[in-house]
Each structure stands twice: as C-alpha cells, then as structure tokens.
A = this chain, B = another copy of it.
Amino acid sequence: MNKGKQTRQHIIARAADVFSMRGFFGTSMRDLTDATGIEKGGIYNHFSSKEALAIESFDYATNLIAQRFVVVLAGKESPLERLVAIVEVFYSLIDDPVLTGGCPVLNTAIESDDTYPVLRERARRAMTSWHKLIGREVKAGVAQGELKPESDPYTVATIVTATLEGAIMLSKLYDDSVYIQRAVDHMADYIRSLAL
C-alpha cells in the first residue's frame, strides 16, 4: 500500500470508531481531526465530504464484522452448528468489540431511519445480508432434516437480529455485558429448540 492509500485507510478506520460513538450528526470535523491526527485539509484531500467518509467508514466497519462470521463459520458444515456459531459470535463482542460505539448497523439504522436516506440504504443492505445469512442456514437445516420443517427463515432471522441488536443497545446503555450474555444464551437455546 502506498503512503496515500495508507493515510486513507487510517482515516477510515479511526473515523469508523468516532462515528460509532458520536453518530453521524454528532461527529464534527474537529472530532475527526482529533481522532485521526490529520488536519481538515488532509481529510478533504481523501474524502469529498463528511458524508463520503461516513459511508466508507460504515462499509469498513461492516466488513470487519463480516470477517468475524467468516472465521467462525469456516469448516462448519451443519446448518444447526452454523446457526449456533453465528449467534455466539456476539459473545466475542463483549471482550473484543469491533468498534467502541457498538454495532454500526444498529447505530446507523436508528440515526438515519427518518433523516438520512443514503446511510439508511447502507444500513438496510447490511441488515439484509445478515438476515440472508441466517435465513439460508434455516432453509438448509430444514432441507437436510436437521431443523423442524415448520422453522421459518424469515421469523428466525427477525428474532435473532432483533434480540441480539436490542441486547447490544442494553449493554451499551448500562455499560454491562450481562445483557448480551443473556441474549446469546437465550438465542442459542432458541436455535436448538428448532432442531428435529
């Protein structure tokens, strides 16, 4: 990577953390220059606007999360085992969060739903790909006779994402990981309850 590209990546990575804590509206250019150690002109050299940087930071953050899933899913063939692994990724967020400010999809969804179509579209896409990851395993589990035939991919995807995202919100609000812990335990039980 050349120097310019390195600087660009550095700005994106630090900005992702700042946006995750302060939100899009709450993040000022000053917050970004403080976090990156790069002056305003230097940032605008690489990104045309705060919005352009926010979008790249969002993609960077969701890619980091996607990589966690790739790692835990590697080598697991059984859909049931894969579903439990997907849920249990959230344990790792307690001690080793991807970003300081919690889940970027959750934060962006809440902040942008009524106000910011470009970011909302990004959050929708990221959430949909997570729903599809879960739904696919549910379908495969039913097809392979591992899960009860009435297991509905859409319902399971909704319940898992709603419960875990809601629990991240609670753990952040109270600064206490017990909420994520309880939600992951409960979701792992829920997934196992779908087994034939």
- Cβ-defined contact, A162 with B166, below 8 A: yes
Least Cβ–Cβ distance between A115 and chain B, in angstroms = 5
Choose one: B102, B124, B159, B186; the contact of A183 (CB below 8 Å): B159
- Cβ-defined contact, A124 with B158, below 8 A: no
A contact residues vs B (CB 8 Å cutoff): 20-26, 100-102, 106-107, 109-111, 113-115, 120, 123-124, 127, 154-155, 158-159, 161-167, 169-170, 172-174, 178-179, 182-183, 186
How often does this chain occur in the complex, in copies?
2
- Cβ-defined contact, B113 with A173, below 8 A: yes
- Cβ-defined contact, A124 with B164, below 8 A: no
- Cβ-defined contact, B173 with A123, below 8 A: yes
Least Cβ–Cβ distance between A90 and chain B, in angstroms = 11
Pick 15 A–B contacts, CB within 8 A, sort by A.
Answer: A23-B25, A24-B26, A110-B110, A110-B111, A110-B169, A120-B173, A123-B173, A127-B170, A158-B178, A159-B186, A161-B166, A162-B183, A163-B166, A164-B166, A166-B169
- Cβ-defined contact, B182 with A154, below 8 A: yes
Q: Find chain B residues with CB under 8 A from A169 CB.
A: 106, 109-110, 162, 165-166
